[in-house]
């Protein structure tokens, strides 16, 4: 791709580093872009802002590859559109997915805007996903490495996004990525992948939410309505979460076996049920703001659905009777309102939307 320029999101991780190497070998003029979206996380060892350490690693890789690296500051937009939304959703009892929001509202649109200013023809990221152009438009597919596939987080992307986006590592396995990085003497070849909230990392969710959401004690009841304890607030917990005192549940009744959160009611009551109980399972869910990757999509009966990243693929049928809903072939556990359901036909991503029950 001689004379074509691509702006590549470089996080300091091994995936985006190898993506940069691949693009350069393919003949692209590569510009690395480090995104500063959240500056409050600290490195536990150095005490530095985590983003600064990550950017230093991205700089090292850019130097090895002899490509420029720019810093894109999207922190204001990220706080307003992702973090503030998170707090609002949790305060209403939902369990939002910030990674989907981040890709849809921040990473892809804002990076493309920056790319155009820099005269780039494409943007690229180190996601494990694939894009294919067909007679009907652009299609999104799962990454070849099924243990790392990130197509779930990309389910809100549009045709316009896919038309100018490249996923250089979508056809590769993680082990190949690390081997390539090691052969090219990348200092991050064995660096662990990021976990937790997009650009924030792994945090104690209760402490994080506690910054803005005050505790509001309520009753814990079993499926028969018997009060079995107290909780500090429904917003701290999610459907399917294991009940235990270490998480803040105050139990006044011994619960034999494993119990889980089955329902969060608007009157600040949490309903719990024992493992395997029908109350923990749903056969049908509603889909808020169903989004199709390809607007020309025709509703098909035999689809598979994920209700979490890398979760099990559940067979079922998408229905439209006014609003969209999905009927599972078999009842499914741990369905949380606010999370995303993503639909697949084989390896192709059909689309997805926010879960309601």
Domain of residue 231, CATH code: 2.30.30.280
pLDDT on residue 252: 85
Whether the pLDDT of residue 192 is over 90: the answer is no
Do 89 and 119 lie in one domain? The reply is: yes
9 and 120 belong to one structural domain: yes
Answer whether 314's CB lies under 8 Å from 328's CB: yes
Domain termination site, one of 227, 260, 275: 275
On whether residue 12 sits in a domain, the answer given is yes
341 assigned to some structural domain? yes
Residue 198 lies in a domain: no
Q: What is the pLDDT of residues 53-82, one digit of tens each?
A: 899 999 999 999 999 999 999 999 999 999
**Do 178 and 256 belong together in one domain?**
no
Q: Are residues 263 and 307 in the same domain?
A: no
Residue 34, number of CB atoms within 10 A of its CB: 22
How many C-beta atoms surround the C-beta of residue 322 within 10 A? 6
Distance CA(124)–CA(126), nearest Å, equals 7
In a domain, 304, yes or no: yes
In a domain, 206, yes or no: no
The answer to whether residues 54 and 34 belong to one domain is: yes
Q: Known catalytic residues?
A: 102, 198
Same domain, 239 and 320: no
Residue 91 lies in a domain: yes
Q: What is the mean pLDDT of the chain?
A: 91
Q: Of residues 136 and 28, which shows the higher confidence score?
A: 28
In terms of domains, do 172 and 245 share one? no
Question: Is residue 261 located within the same domain as residue 298?
Answer: no
* pTM reported for the whole predicted model: 0.90
Are 9 and 66 members of one domain? yes
User: Quick one: 174 and 69 in the same domain?
Assistant: yes
Domain shared by 258 and 233, yes or no: yes
Q: How many whole angstroms separate alpha carbon 197 and alpha carbon 186?
A: 26
CATH of the domain at 306: 2.40.30.10
Q: What are phi and psi of 297, to 5 degrees?
A: -55, 135
52 and 178 in one domain? yes
On whether residue 196 sits in a domain, the answer given is no
CATH of the domain at 102: 3.40.50.620
- Which range of residues forms the domain containing residue 323? 281-356
132: in domain? no
Q: What angle do CA 125, 289, 82 make, to 5 degrees?
A: 50
* Overall domain count for the chain: 3
Q: What is the pLDDT of residues 134-176, one digit of tens each?
A: 988 999 999 999 999 999 999 999 999 999 999 999 999 999 9
Residue partners of 67: CB distance under 8 A and separation at least 6:
20, 24, 30, 31, 32
């Amino acid at each position: 791709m001689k004379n074509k320029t691509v702006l590549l999101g470089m996080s300091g991780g091994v995936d985006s580093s190898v993506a940069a190497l691949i693009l350069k070998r393919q003949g692209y003029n590569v510009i690395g872009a480090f995104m500063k979206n959240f500056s409050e996380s600290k490195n536990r060892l150095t005490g530095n802002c985590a983003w600064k350490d990550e950017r230093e690693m991205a700089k090292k890789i850019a130097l090895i590859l002899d490509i420029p690296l720019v810093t894109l500051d999207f922190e204001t937009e990220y706080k307003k559109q992702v973090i503030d939304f998170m707090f609002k959703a949790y305060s209403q009892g939902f369990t939002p997915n910030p990674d989907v929001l981040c890709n849809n509202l921040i990473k892809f649109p804002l990076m493309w805007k920056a790319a155009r200013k820099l005269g780039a023809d494409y943007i690229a990221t180190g996601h494990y996903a694939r894009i294919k152009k067909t007679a009907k438009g652009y299609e999104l597919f799962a990454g070849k490495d099924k243990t790392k596939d990130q197509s779930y987080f990309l389910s809100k992307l549009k045709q316009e996004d896919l038309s100018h986006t490249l996923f250089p590592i979508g056809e590769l396995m993680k082990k190949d990525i690390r081997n390539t990085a090691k052969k090219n003497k990348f200092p991050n070849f064995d660096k662990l992948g990021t976990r937790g909230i997009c650009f924030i990392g792994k945090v104690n969710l209760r402490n994080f939410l506690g910054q803005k959401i005050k505790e509001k004690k309520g009753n814990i009841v079993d499926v028969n309505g018997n009060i079995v304890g107290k909780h500090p607030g429904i917003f701290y917990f999610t459907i399917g979460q294991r009940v235990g005192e270490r998480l803040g549940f105050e139990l006044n009744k011994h619960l034999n076996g494993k119990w889980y959160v089955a329902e969060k009611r608007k009157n600040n009551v949490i309903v719990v049920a024992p493992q395997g109980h029908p109350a923990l399972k749903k056969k049908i869910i509603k889909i808020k703001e169903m989004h199709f990757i390809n607007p020309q999509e025709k509703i098909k009966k035999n689809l598979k659905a994920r209700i979490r990243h890398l979760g099990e693929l559940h067979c079922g049928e998408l229905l439209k009777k006014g609003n969209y809903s999905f009927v599972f072939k078999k009842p499914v556990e741990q369905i949380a309102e606010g999370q995303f359901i993503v639909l697949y036909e084989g390896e192709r991503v059909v689309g997805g939307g926010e879960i309601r029950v």
